Amino acid sequence: MYKIESKIKYAEGLYGIWVDAQYVAEKVEPGQFVMVMTHEKGERIPLTIADYDRSGKKIFLVFLVAGKSTAQLADMNEGDELFSLVGPLGKQSEIENYGRVVCVGGGTGIAAIHPIARSLKEAGNEVISIIGAKNKGLIFMEEDIRKVSDKVIVTTDDGSYGRKGFVTDALKDLLDNDEEEDIARVWAVGPAIMMKNVALLTRGYNVKTIVSLNAIMVDATGMCGTCRVTVGEETKLTCVDGPEFDGHLVDWSEFMNRLMRYKPQEKIAMDLYMKRRQ
């Protein structure tokens, strides 16, 4: 169960794994995630399902090494089995035929935006995708995104590939040139600061924007409250009410502060793990 069937190294610290997970593959819908434990005493970490093969009974996860648990996952190889994998969790994306939509993926968010763009395309939307990363080496799944989009714009912060700048620069140009005002909806998945900036930008153009919040999660079934966020002055749980919310209603400062809460402990855990690994 939960055998890693294949592992792709996209860049240092950035990996994709196809995992044997029959029941998740049968049920998963775009926007959903799984909770993964690498070993019995490991932490439960949420990862978005980037792709799935229902007949092959497997799902694809992409992760960036952010600390101890993702480092432990990166140390696993083809043939190894994850201790547990629970899902699909969270609400699925609201897919309809909106007309013209823009899907923005930044960093590992490129993976998460992929099944959303694919479903939007299948529902008849014109899909424009903007994918961005720090540099060329961190752009991945570009071909997959191209297959499910009518147009793709790639941005890199350093200009080593595609357009130089942030995804928000490319999005601003699209919105400024949208004379018919027919961009009906924007999806944005990526680092908190990117999603916040996308939401601040689109608010000025009155274009509804859906973000997928990567709040710190523990049980992911609505019981612990760790992943609570304020959306439109209501308290919501990212795990069961989200992870997708209206980006114009999210209390971004509270959300970003909560992401930083355990930094000292996370650093100690990572340092100890790296020491033991040597």
Nearer to ligand FAD, 15 or 166 (CB): 15
Q: Give least dist CB 217 to ligand FAD, A.
A: 4
Of residues 111 and 201, the one with the C-beta less far from ligand FAD: 111
Interface with ligand FAD (CB under 6 A): 33, 43, 45-48, 62-64, 66-70, 108, 111-112, 214-217, 238, 243, 259, 263, 266, 270
Q: How far is the CB of 194 from ligand FAD (least distance, A)?
A: 14
Strand order in the sheet with 100-106: 163-164, 151-156, 126-133, 100-106, 183-189, 208-212, 244-246
Q: What are phi and psi of 240, to 5 degrees?
A: -105, -25
- Considering beta carbons, is residue 199 or 217 the nearer one to ligand FAD? 217
Q: Record the tokens describing residue 28, joined without a space.
A: 């998963």
Q: What angle do CA 77, 55, 151 make, to 5 degrees?
A: 85
By beta-carbon proximity to ligand FAD, the closer residue of 150 and 219 is 219
Name the minimum Å distance from CB 215 to ligand FAD.
5
Using an 8 Å Cβ cutoff, are 193 and 256 in contact? yes
Looking at the Cβ atoms of 63 and 187, the one nearer to ligand FAD is 63
Check if the beta carbon of residue 224 is closer than 8 Å to that of residue 218. Answer: yes
Q: Could you tell me the smallest distance in angstroms from the CB atom of residue 108 to ligand FAD?
A: 4
Fill in the amino acid letter for 227: C
Q: At closest approach, how far in Å is the CB of 178 from ligand FAD?
A: 30
Nearest residue to ligand FAD by CB is: 67
Distance CA 130, CA 190 (A): 12
